[in-house]
Amino acid sequence: MTSIRAKIIEGKYPLNSKLPSEPKLQEEYGVSRVTVRLAVDGLVRDGLVERVQGKGSFVRKPSRVSRLVRETTVESFSQVAKESGFVPTTRVLKVEKVAVDEKLKGNLETDSKEALHTVRLRYLDDDPIFYESNYYPLPRFESLPDYDLTGSLYAIFSNHFGIEKLASDNTTLSIKTADVETASMLNRSVGFPLFYLVTQIFDENDQVVQYGEHLIASDRYQFKI
């Protein structure tokens, strides 16, 4: 039931207004009471709705919106998060070699048949906000798994691969909504709006360092244009 969320975002349910009762929402959307309750539960978890005992459910502004990481450059997520007053942490979910298809071959600008693939989950103050799937050309980054991947990858590039500057990045940004798997991973509700960020990052010699596809919780991340 993303339509309740949409009405909140569009202002049809204004800030601090009271949502219709569960029976009225049930009638309006033609769904069961359980479905209505689950939908409102998701909005409560995301900070868009507050339940007040004996009074009902009210539209609220998420308390976390005022604390944002304000960077879209290729600077380290960890560094930017710390400078913004957060405690960043990272959980490495996957490190593997994968076969290179035509799309990945073009994105990495490589003739190799394999690439290194890493998947990490990034946290701000223990809140999972950033699902990060990155690919690296081989054999150049063969030894990347030997280093601590819970910190800044850009520091590893600088300290161990002689990369002095990440000169440019081709970035596309769009919006997706969380499916069941992503919602569970990012601790958001199904249908929650996510930034979908695709990046192609180069070193100072215009060689591809990294190709990435990222899903980011929109309530904790802001982009500068």
Domain 2-59, CATH class in plain words: mainly alpha
Residue 146 CB contacts under 8 Å (≥ 6 apart), including other chains: none
pLDDT digits (tens, 9 = 90+) for 74-129: 567 777 677 556 788 999 999 999 999 999 999 999 999 999 999 999 998 889 99
- Statement: residue 153 has pLDDT above 60: yes
Segments making up each domain of the chain, as ranges? 2-59, 77-217
- Statement: residue 143 has pLDDT above 90: yes
Q: Tell me, which fold does domain 77-217 have in CATH?
A: Chorismate lyase (3.40.1410)
pLDDT at site 54: 92
pLDDT digits (tens, 9 = 90+) for 161-207: 999 888 767 788 899 999 999 999 999 988 999 999 898 999 999 99
pTM of the prediction? 0.68
> CA nearest 137: which of 154, 117, 121, 119?
117
pLDDT digits (tens, 9 = 90+) for 21-38: 999 999 999 999 999 998
pLDDT at site 3: 79
Residue 66: φ, ψ to 5°? -75, -10
CB 178 within 8 A of CB 188: yes
